[in-house]
Amino acid sequence: MSKMNVLVYSGPGTTKFCVEQCLNTFKLLLYPFYSVSTASEKMLKDQPWESKTAVLVIPGGADLPICKLFKGEINDRIKRFVNKGGKFIGICSGGYYSSSRCEFEVGNKEMEVSGSRDLGFFPGICRGSVVKGFQYGTEKGTAATRIKVNSKLLPDAPEYVHLYTNGGGVFVDAQKYTNVDILATYDDEIDVKDETEGVKASSVLCSVGRGKALLFGTHPEFDPHLLNEDSDVPKFASILKTLRSTNKERIEFLRAAVKTLGLEVNEKEYERPILTPLYLCSVYPNSAVQLVEKMESVIGYQIENIMDVGSEKFEVLKSLSIPSTTHKINQDPELAIKQLVLCQHELPPKEYTPFFDLHAFKTNLIEAYKETNQNLTESSIGNTFIYGEVLTSTSVLMYSNFNLLQVLPSGFTITGTIQVAGKGRSGNNWVNPKGVLAVSTHHLIPITNSEISPIVFVQYLSAMAFTKAVLNYDIGYNEIPLKIKWPNDIYIMLPSFIGSKTTGDSKQVTHVKVGGILVNTNVVGKDYCLTVGSGLNLSNEAPTTSVNLVIDAMNKYNESIGNNKHLEAIKEEKLLAKYLAIYNEMFEKFKVNGFRPFLQDYYSMWFHSNQIVTLDGDKHAQICGITPDWGLLMAKDLKTGEMYQLQPDGNSFDMFNGLIFQKR
């Protein structure tokens, strides 16, 4: 199983904007093959991040705080990670930090930073600034630097590219080191001295043990469309014009450079997905209309049809029209005004939502409620819903907008095809590709009910409902090897293991994560207000696998042994409808009876019956269930018989690892 995490360091020594640019660009280049997220200095020090990480990135900022924080243990771990085959990217100050010596603004008493550096991936000096005038936090020293690309090493990249440069360095005498390949050089004159035979290297690829380090003096990750003109720096307008007009070449250069690390890249995308309208619909036609009327009454409009719903603003449209994007390319999608289209009399036609058939979803939802012997009412989960082809996050659209939360009906649902700011544990976010079924639901539980129905179990219910929806999709789907990893992650057997058997005591990675649940809680009046975000890899090929890929592997195996069993690929519209109906049935029962009635069902779906785990490095314990009050994992020490209760985020159970190892 390949390593799928790309970690962008985001602690002291970086700037928020540099981190955001890294996240945006690397998500564009690397999805759906890798999960790009941030990493704090605490995580790099305390968590077992190396085993599932493909690349560690140190973005721009200032390297002195990193020197202080990383000295010793973190530097040692990074060096071991790269020497053992890991990949590393250092950008601007990250390039200085990753060289054997940093020489920045030498002779400038106010700005000078110089000295040896511990990582030493580039064995020489990184010297800057290559452009005079650098000042922290301003664009005064910025340039659109012309870079000459090494076409022999990067044949797919353009010959020249213009890159944002502000405080960056040159890799001095790079040509003399045998472990260094020069990927690009400064074509413009630079304001610091390279050595006599120096070639003004702006980007280098360094071989370090079995790994590689890709270092930049410039900022190839900077998307110029996310930069704004600076009235204090008149020349910056022309710099932006140059950078924006050559942005495609920038992406092509960075894509080619990243491929030298051996990474899989997205070969097609040049721009991040742009938000599309949010269609507000309901099975009961009046439900959507009544919600907008309540929003108008309680929240009201700021200007014309613009409504402030909390952290975001909606432009409310009351008639279907030709779809349009809802923000400009240089806008932050989380700050852009979202178009909310009220579908009063009919659902949008298929050409408006080409990746999700709303008519099929409505039909399947009605049928799914009938199959579970429920009446689909105006307060049922899924009756009132929003669909957006490209949206920020199904969850964030609800839980971050407190004004909206106060008027949403219980059971309100949001789903979308592409999330450009999907949210995960520890605040991580990502761009999810087509093929991931993402859905969030809204629920109210009286605070007084918390003893009967502890809200911690809502995540368990959602994971169970999604698993049931797949296994009960139709006849034969119960054979899909889908399981729940405590507390709420959904795992599936890798396609390569379908029909095979593992023997002996060797550990093998047999299952990978394809789904997960994240619950956000607010208090509104006397109720807990829950936003339950759920996601399942249904048909995407990366970064791990998907349910439909496993179904395809099952079909091929059955055919190979002469079995005529054949399962059709699961359709999003039908699966989502089944999930919502099953979840509604379970949730209503949970509000009255708590989680105890679901315990045996949960155990039948999970990985951990009698599983042996290692705690605190040397204690071996057997999993024996969860506590019925707070859902903590119970484990019995094999030697002493002592019982342990484990937290979901405890390192002792290696929740970060993300994989299940089964011994057979």
DSSP sequence for 27-89: HHHHTTTSEEEEE-HHHHHHS--GGGEEEEEE-SB-HHHHHHHHTTHHHHHHHHHHHTT-EEE
pLDDT number for residue 443:
96
pLDDT number for residue 267:
85
User: Helices 572-593 and 358-371 meet at what angle, rounded to 10?
Assistant: 40
User: Helices 247-259 and 16-30 meet at what angle, rounded to 10?
Assistant: 70
Q: How far is CA 291 from each of CA 212, 343, 531, rounded to the nearest angstrom?
A: 55, 12, 18
Judge: domain 353-365+378-602, CATH 3.30.930.10. yes
């630097």: which residue's tokens? 145
Torsion of CA 394, 399, 401, 404, to 10 degrees: 90
């349009």: which residue's tokens? 324
Tell me how far the alpha carbon of residue 519 is from its chain's centroid: 16
First vs last Cα of the chain: how many Å apart? 18
568-594 as b/e, with b when 16 or more CB fall inside 10 Å? eebbbbbbbbbbbbbbbbbbeebeeeb
Q: How far is CA 632 from each of CA 22, 88, 510, 603, 640, rounded to the nearest angstrom?
A: 37, 37, 25, 14, 20
Q: Are 576 and 359 in contact (CB under 8 A)?
A: no
Q: Tell me, what amino acid is at 13?
A: G
Residues near 339 by Cβ (< 8 Å), separated by ≥ 6?
A: 277, 278, 314, 315, 317, 324, 326
Domain ranges of the chain: 5-261, 353-365+378-602, 608-662
Q: How far is CA 41 from each of CA 13, 25, 479, 506, rounded to the nearest angstrom?
A: 10, 22, 43, 34
DSSP 570: P
Q: Are 570 and 547 in contact (CB under 8 A)?
A: yes
Distance from C-alpha of 114 to C-alpha of 227, rounded to nearest angstrom: 30
Distance from C-alpha of 538 to C-alpha of 512, rounded to nearest angstrom: 13
Q: Are 446 and 526 in contact (CB under 8 A)?
A: yes
- Count of C-beta atoms within a 10 Å radius of residue 20: 18
The two tokens of residue 309 are 């719903």
**380, 535, 395: which is closest to 463 by C-alpha?**
535
The two tokens of residue 594 are 């708590």
pLDDT number for residue 174:
96
DSSP 129: -
Distance from C-alpha of 39 to C-alpha of 50, rounded to nearest angstrom: 12
DSSP 597: G
Residues near 502 by Cβ (< 8 Å), separated by ≥ 6?
A: 508, 510, 662, 664
Q: Are 424 and 518 in contact (CB under 8 A)?
A: yes
pLDDT number for residue 662:
30
- Count of C-beta atoms within a 10 Å radius of residue 282: 23
Distance from C-alpha of 412 to C-alpha of 430, rounded to nearest angstrom: 24
- Low-confidence stretches of the chain (pLDDT < 50) are 1, 426-427, 503-506, 649-664
Distance from C-alpha of 645 to C-alpha of 634, rounded to nearest angstrom: 5
Q: Are 489 and 513 in contact (CB under 8 A)?
A: yes
The two tokens of residue 643 are 């019982």
Q: Are 551 and 480 in contact (CB under 8 A)?
A: yes
> pLDDT tens, 104-115?
999 998 899 999
**4, 59, 57, 53: which is closest to 30 by C-alpha?**
4
509-527 as b/e, with b when 16 or more CB fall inside 10 Å? ebbbbbbbbbbbeeeeeeb
Judge: domain 5-261, CATH 3.40.50.880. yes
DSSP character string of 331-368: S-TTTSPEEEEE-SSSPPPGGGSTTS-HHHHHHHHHHH
Assess whether the previous peptide bond of 487 is cis (omega < 30° from 0): yes
- Count of C-beta atoms within a 10 Å radius of residue 319: 9
Q: Are 575 and 470 in contact (CB under 8 A)?
A: yes
User: Helices 73-83 and 63-70 meet at what angle, rounded to 10?
Assistant: 90
Distance from C-alpha of 397 to C-alpha of 402, rounded to nearest angstrom: 10
- Count of C-beta atoms within a 10 Å radius of residue 99: 29
Question: Burial, 403: exposed, middle or buried (Cβ in 10 Å; 0-12, 13-18, 19+)?
Answer: middle
> pLDDT tens, 490-521?
999 999 999 987 644 446 788 999 999 999 99
Go through the chain and tell me how many residues it has.
Answer: 664
Q: Where are the alpha helices (DSSP H) in 336-453?
A: 358-371, 396-399, 402-405
pLDDT number for residue 329:
56
Q: How far is CA 307 from each of CA 304, 403, 409, 582, rounded to the nearest angstrom?
A: 9, 10, 18, 34
